[in-house]
Structure 1
C-alpha cells in the first residue's frame, strides 16, 4: 500500500530504492502457450528464488543475465525446466531485485511453478503492484504508470499510440514545465511577503500576469484535446437506430465481418441492445445495435426500445437507418427530424438501406448522407470513411501531438486552471501577495497530482486496481 499522503514525492535522484517484501505473479495470460513468465520482485528475491533453482548459483550471477535450470518444490521434485532472468536493483522495472522465470506454457505447469515460488515465503502480488512499486521507487511518473494500464487495455492502433505517448512522459514534461513556472512565481511572491515591512518588491506584477495568462492559455490548449483523447482511448460510442427491420443488424454484421447479431425478416427480432467493438483505420468504434423503434405491448421488446433510447442519449455518433425498399411515411419523417433535433451537437447520419431493392420513386424530402446495401456490400467503404469523418468532426485527430486521455488528468487541469485564473483576478484587483500565494500553491498541488509529485493513498489504490495481476 502507498504510504505517501498529501506530500511532495522526492525526486528519483533523492530517493533510495525501497526493497519491500518479495511478491510474485504470473505475468503472461493464463492458458496454453509456448512459454509463461512468472515475475518475482522485492527484498532478497534472487536469494529466495535460488533456493528452488537447480543449475547455476543465481547469487553469483550478474544483472541482466539469463540462466537455464530447473524449479523444484519443497519435496525436491522437479516442477519444470525454466530460464531465470536476473535484474539487480535498481536496474529493473520496479527498481527492486527482480527475477523473471520463463517456464513452459500451460495452466497446470505455470501454476505449479508459481506455487513452488510462493512456498519460499514470497506472497502473491496485488493487481498493479509491480507498477505501483516502480512509481513509488521513482522509476516512472504517475501519468506514465497509468499509461501502462492504457497500453494493456488498448483496443485500437490510435489508443496504443496515445498510450505510448504518455508512457514516453510527454504529458509529464508539460506538467513539470507548468509547475516550474508557478514555483518561480510563487517564490517571488512569498519572498516579497518575507520583506513586507521593508516594502521591498521582488515580483514584477505585469510580468507575473503575462506568465499566468500564458499558462492559462497553455492549459486551455491541453484541455481542448480531451474530447479527442477520450474517443481515442475509449472508442466512439456509435448507435444504429431506426424502425424495425430496416437492416441495423445486417449492417453491424457487415462492418464487424461476422454474424454478431441475429438477422431475420421478422420485425422486432432485436429485442435488446447489442454492443460490439469494431476498429477502423486505427480508431475504435463501440457499435450498438438497437431494438426497432415502435410502440409495442410486448414487455421484453418495450424494454429493448427503452434501452435503445438510452443508447441514443449516450452516443458520440448516431446512425439513423431508413429502409429504401419501403415508402416513407409522414410519421417516420417526423421521427427522423425529432432524433436529429435531440442529437444536438452529436454527429448524426441519415443512411438509406437496402438500396439494391430500393423503390424507383425517389423521396426528395429525405436528405440522405449515403445510400447503401449492407447485404450486397454497396457503399460500405464509403460509409466507414463517413462515420470516422463525422465522429471526429471539428476535432484534432493528430495523435502525434499531445492528447489528454484521462478524466482524472482533465479534472486536475480544470482545477489548476481555475486556481490560475483566480490568481490572475487577484493581481488585477491589487490583492496582497498572501492571497496570490494561496491560489498559486493550490494550482501547484493540482498539477502535482497528475505526475505524482503529490499523491494520496486512495488515488493510488484507485489507479493501480485497474491493472492486471502481474503488471
Structure 2
C-alpha cells in the first residue's frame, strides 16, 4: 500500500450531537495521534481496536475525553494507517481536537481525499468511489439502492467482463498481425464478428438504463404549469406538506420558479412551481413567464393545471393542445383543480387525467400514483436491475460502443487487422476510464471535488 503524508478532517457533520469523529490517515498517522493521546500506547495495540483516553495539547491541557479506534494498513478504508478519534459532539470541542492533531504536522484533508486514497490504493474502483458520493447525496430510497448496487461492484463487474471480451478479440487480431508474412490466420472472422456484435448489444442494454438511472439519482423534474391562480402553488404545498410557495387570490403572485424536493414511494420528484401563463406588461412577471417556458422545456414530467371553477375558453384549449404537442415524448398530465368549487353543469368536452382539490386533498393520493406511473412508464425499471446513473459512465459507454461498431464495420469491409486493433484498443481505453484502470488527474480532481471534507 502507498502511504502518503498524513491528513486529518472532521468526518461527521458540524454541529451539536452525541459524538463527532475526526479521521486521520496516512504515513505515521498512528504515531501522530499517539503523541497527543493519553491512554494506551496506540503504537503497540492491535488493528481494529478501540481505546479510551484523552487528547492533550502541548503544555498538558486536556482537550477532551475520547475513544481512538486504530486501523492498520492495509486493512483500513484508505489502505493506509488510520485512526478515528471519537470525541464529544460540539462545534468547539471537535474543532479543538482537530487543531491539536493538525498542530503535530498533519495536513487538513481536501474534499474526498480519503476516498481518493482508497481508490489509489486499490480498495475501490473509480465507479465504486463515485458511488460513495452518490450514497452520501442520495435523497430517495431508490437513489440509495442504485448507489449501493454500484458500491457493491456490479457495474465494475460488467465493465471488466466487457473489457475481457475486447482483450480476447484484440489478442486474436494482433496475433495474426505478428504472423502476417507467413499468411497464418488465427482469427475466425465469424467468431470474431459474433463476439463484437454480442458486446455491442450488451453495452446497448446497459446504456438503455441511463434515462431511468438519471431520474432515480437526480429526481424527476416535475413542472406545474397553467394559468394564474390555477392552484399550482397550493398543489406544491400540499405535496411537500409545508407552505413552500406563497398562496394568495391575487393572480400573478408567483413571479419566479419555485423548487421543492418531494419523495414518493422511494422516488424523488423535484417539483417546480411556475409563474402563471398569460400576456403581461409587468416586466418582472413577464420574466417569470419566460422562466416558466424554459422550465417546461427541461421537464421530465409536465403537469398542466386547469381551474375547474372557471369555464374553458378557446385560447386555453389551444394553449393546452400546444403544450401537449411541444411536450412530445415528455409525459404530460392534464389535471383539473379546485374540484370543490367546480361547476359540474358545464360541458367541458376535454379528457382530464384526474380532477383534484388540493385544499380538500381530494384525489391527491391518486395523483401521486399517476405522477410516479407516468414518470417511469416508458422506462424499463426493475428494482433489482443495474442502472447507469452517471453521465460520465454513459459517455464512456457510448464511446466504447462506437469504437466496437467501427471495428465491426472494418471487419465487414475486409480491412486489415491493424485497423481493427486501433478501434478495439480505443474501446478498451474508454471502458477503462469507468473503473479507473485508465484515468488522468483532471478526471480524479473533478470526481473527488464533489465529496464532503472528511470522506
- Pick from 302, 309, 313: which aligns with 1:329? 313
Q: 1:365 Cα deviation (Å)? A: 2.0
Output the CA distance in 1 between the equivalents of 2:11 and 2:170. Answer: 45
Q: Hey, what does 1:351 align to over in structure 2?
A: 335
Is residue 2:370 matched to residue 1:386?
Answer: yes
1:215 is matched with which residue?
A: 199
1:105-144 aligned at under 5 Å gives the runs: 105-144=89-128
Q: Find the counterpart in structure 1 of residue 264 from structure 2.
A: 280
**Structure 2: any 5+ residue segments left out of the alignment?**
none
* 8 Å contact kept, 1:223–1:410: yes
TM-score by length of 2: 0.99
Q: Tell me, yes or no, if structure 1 residue 315 matches structure 2 residue 295.
A: no
1:198 is aligned to: 182
Contact in 2 for aligned 1:320/1:349 (Cα 8 Å)? yes
Q: Distance in 2 between matches of 1:188 and 1:268?
A: 69
8 Å CA contact retained: 1:328, 1:363: no
Stretches of 4+ aligned residues off by more than 4 angstroms: none
**How far is the alpha carbon of 1:228 from its aligned partner?**
0.1
| Counterpart among 170, 180, 184 of residue 164 in structure 2 | 180
Contact in 2 for aligned 1:83/1:103 (Cα 8 Å): yes
Answer yes or no: is the 8 Å Cα contact 1:70–1:81 preserved in 2. Answer: yes
Shift of 1:400: 1.2
Q: How does 1:297-446 map to 2 (within 5 A)?
A: 297-446=281-430
Cα deviation for residue 187 of structure 1 reads 1.0
Matched position secondary structure for 1:286: strand
Q: For 2:53, what is the secondary structure of its paired residue?
A: strand
Aligned match of 2:79: 95
Paired position in structure 2 for 1:9? none
- Secondary structure of the equivalent of 1:58? coil
Give 2:253's aligned residue.
269
Which of 4, 12, 17 is the equivalent residue of 1:33? 17
Rounded to whole Å, the distance in 2 between the matches of 1:464 and 1:264 is: 45
CA contact (8 A) 2:7 2:26 kept: yes
SS of match in other structure, 1:440 = helix
Residue 137 of structure 2 corresponds to 153
User: Could you say if the C-alpha distance between residues 363 and 74 of structure 1 is closer, same or farther in structure 2, counting changes exceeding 3 Å?
Assistant: farther
Provide the C-alpha distance between the structure 2 equivalents of 1:259 and 1:213, rounded to a whole number of angstroms: 55
Question: How far off is 1:367 after superposition?
Answer: 1.2
TM superposition shift of 1:361: 2.2
Residues 318-370 of structure 1 deviation map (CA, whole Å, 9 limit, x = unaligned)? 00000000111111111111111111110000000000110122333221000
Aligned Cα root-mean-square deviation (Å) = 0.6
Any conservation in 2 of the 1:141–1:452 contact (CA below 8 Å)? yes
Q: CA deviation at 1:379?
A: 0.2
Moved more, 290-299 or 235-244: 290-299
Match of 1:253 in 2: 237
Aligned length: 455
How far apart in 2 are the matches of 1:126 and 1:423?
Answer: 42
Q: State how far apart, in whole Å, the 2-side matches of 1:315 and 1:362 are.
A: 32
Whether the aligned pair in 2 keeps the contact of 1:74 and 1:119 (CA below 8 Å) is no
How much has 1:461 moved relative to structure 2? Answer: 0.5
